[in-house]
Amino acid sequence: MKSKFDEFYYENDAKNHPASEYWELYDKNPREAIQKYDDHMFCPLCKLAPLSVARGYQRRYFRVINSNMNKHAVNCSYRYNKATQKETYKFYKELDETDIRNRLVSCMNRMLKGPSQNENKIKSTSKQSEKNRNNNFLDIQGDRGQRKYLPHKNLNASNLDEDIDEQKIYYGRCALWLYQYIPLEEEEIKMYYLKVLDRNNKKQICEIAISTYVYNYLADELSQIPQNKKEALNYYICFSGILQKGMYSYKCKLKDSRLLVLEKE
């Protein structure tokens, strides 16, 4: 229940931000970072529990201190512990019995998007409204029947190396382009590679290998993505897989079409 957060909800713009955004400013001007963000950062999921900052020389992280744990929404996953690798493996093994796509859509909407224009006008997404929102899309049942949450990570986090061989839900606001791999002296596409880039500097974060079989189920969405890096478009993306280190970036193989959801910004 003592989760360390890679991102935070910033109440002044009603959006989630990667932790690196805070530390980059802090390294340049500590006072400015503290004045701008401290006391305005909350749990990125339920948006209610305030985050405290640990500023040790080698230990930098955000957390909710014990006295503030009850400020999480009652259905917030961060009240509980992260699922173990064994529990996570079991969940994905029984995928046919689980509507994972709905979970990914909820994750994308909740973790990546700010409030809609209507919500801003009505102002009904304040503290009371947040308590009733869907905050348990990450939840699964542990081996002993207790509630736990699935491992997940923002693609814009600076510590993607952590638990890299563990299946997680990854999500981010990124630029995308699609590469079609056709072997030399052949005509048919053998594999698709969805290139996921940092939306600001266009540096590649990871690539997702998609077989032609899986692509067929996602063709309506993927066919809209440019096939040239220079034309990469900004998307919301959420997928589940195992990241591995490649030569130039991280890589992942998409095993099931239900494990990827996209939405153009």
| DSSP structure string for 173-228 | EEEEEEEEE--TT--S--EEEEEEEETTT--EEEEEEEEHHHHHHHHHHHTTS-SS
Confidence band, pLDDT 50/70/90 cuts, at residue 130? low
pLDDT band of 112, cuts 50, 70, 90: very high
Condensed to tens digits (0 to 9), the pLDDT of residues 22-46 reads: 999 999 999 999 999 999 999 999 9
Instruction: Tell me the domains of the chain and their CATH numbers.
Output: 7-77 (no CATH), 159-264 (2.40.50.140)
What band does 1 get if pLDDT is binned at 50, 70 and 90? very low
The residue ranking higher by pLDDT, 92 or 59, is 92
Kindly tell me if the per-residue pLDDT of 109 is higher than 50.
Answer: yes
Per-residue model confidence as pLDDT tens digits over 209-241: 999 999 999 999 999 999 999 999 999 999 999
pLDDT over 90 at 134, yes or no: no
What DSSP state is assigned to residue 71? G
Q: HSE (CB half, 13 Å, CA atoms) of 121?
A: 3
**What does the pLDDT read at residue 169?**
96
The model's pTM is 0.89
Tokens for 176, please give them.
């995308």
Rounded average pLDDT over 191-199 = 96
Cα separation, 12 vs 21, in Å, equals: 15
Whole-number pLDDT of residue 248:
83
Q: What are phi and psi of 90, to 5 degrees?
A: -65, -40
What's the CA gap between 108 and 118, in Å, rounded? Answer: 19
Residue 56 has pLDDT above 80, yes or no: no
pLDDT score recorded for residue 105: 94
Output the pLDDT for position 219.
96
